[in-house]
């Protein structure tokens, strides 16, 4: 084998390589016959005939190339992490797409949108198709759901009395709840949360971007709970 497909084989053989380090300049793969000349087409439910015909340029890791979307979701479902992510959406927060994309990357169980049903999908880069999403009308509905599931809610905001995330323990099963630009985590949510954690800041700004905060908090969970701290999806 030669060309881009061979380069990918070599690159993915390196166990230290991550998805952003494989770069051969192309995203995805072309039609199966061009990528794997002489190799029989794979058969079975997981394979998407259209992608095999036309190539697969989706934003998915290489192990899922040519897979049907439903097959990818089913595979992810076998190894999702037990943390959830929730974000308040009372004023159309543009960060929700980023939160969804990061939740996909860290394999959150589910993303909960609290408040408005509509959110700006642009930042999600189509990752929402592979992520379970649940909508709650308001904070009370989210908290009732979490209580009924026995999953503690950890609010993430730099409010007085918050525990530093840098030293806090996060429950293995939990909902990490983020607020929106401006008001931050609502008073109702904070009242019912098991605890609030804050991310240390050192500059002059009052807060960091909610999408960035969500990434930091999710990664703190990964460091504490994801077996060896290394992703295995690629
Ligand atoms: C831009 S902040 C707004 C609220 C912030 N409390 C303020 O006083 O300006 C939006 C959301 O990002 C998250 N966030 C931003 N900075 C944070 C920090 N230092 N620690 C924890 N969460 C933070 C929180 O979820 C927060 O609700």
**Which top CATH class is 83-225?**
alpha beta
Residue 138 has pLDDT above 70, yes or no: yes
pLDDT tens per residue across span 156-183: 999 999 999 999 999 999 999 999 888 8
Residue nearest to atom 21 of ligand 1 (CA): 157
pLDDT digits (tens, 9 = 90+) for 188-228: 999 999 999 999 999 999 999 999 999 999 999 999 999 66
**Ligand 1 pocket: which of 157, 190, 209 to mutate (most atoms <8 Å of CB)?**
157
Residues framing ligand 1 (Cβ under 6 A): 156-159, 178-181, 184-185, 198-199, 201, 206-208, 210, 213
Cα 171 to Cα 34, 90, 95: the distances in Å are 48, 27, 25
In this predicted structure, the answer to whether residue 88 has a pLDDT above a threshold of 70 is: yes
Domain with CATH 3.40.1280.10 in the chain: 83-225
């Amino acid at each position: 084998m030669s060309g881009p497909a061979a380069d990918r084989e070599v690159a993915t053989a390196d166990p230290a390589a991550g998805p952003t380090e494989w770069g051969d300049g192309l995203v995805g793969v072309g039609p199966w016959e061009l990528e794997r000349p002489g190799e029989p087409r794979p058969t079975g439910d997981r394979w998407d005939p259209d992608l095999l015909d036309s190539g697969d340029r989706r934003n998915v890791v290489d192990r899922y190339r040519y897979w049907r979307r439903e097959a990818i979701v089913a595979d992810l479902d076998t190894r999702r992490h037990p943390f959830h992510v929730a974000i308040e959406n009372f004023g159309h927060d543009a960060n929700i797409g980023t939160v969804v994309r990061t939740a996909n990357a860290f394999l959150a169980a589910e993303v909960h949108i609290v408040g408005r049903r509509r959110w700006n999908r642009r930042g999600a880069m189509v990752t929402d198709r592979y992520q379970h999403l649940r909508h709650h009308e308001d904070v009370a509905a989210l908290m009732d759901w979490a209580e009924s599931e026995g999953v503690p809610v950890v609010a993430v905001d730099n409010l007085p009395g918050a525990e530093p995330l840098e030293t806090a323990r996060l429950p293995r099963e939990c909902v990490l709840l983020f607020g929106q630009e401006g008001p931050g985590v609502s008073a109702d949510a904070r009242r019912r949360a098991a605890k609030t954690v804050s991310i240390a800041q050192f500059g002059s700004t009052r807060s960091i971007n909610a999408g960035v905060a969500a990434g930091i908090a999710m990664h703190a969970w990964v460091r504490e709970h994801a077996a060896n701290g290394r992703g295995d999806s690629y």
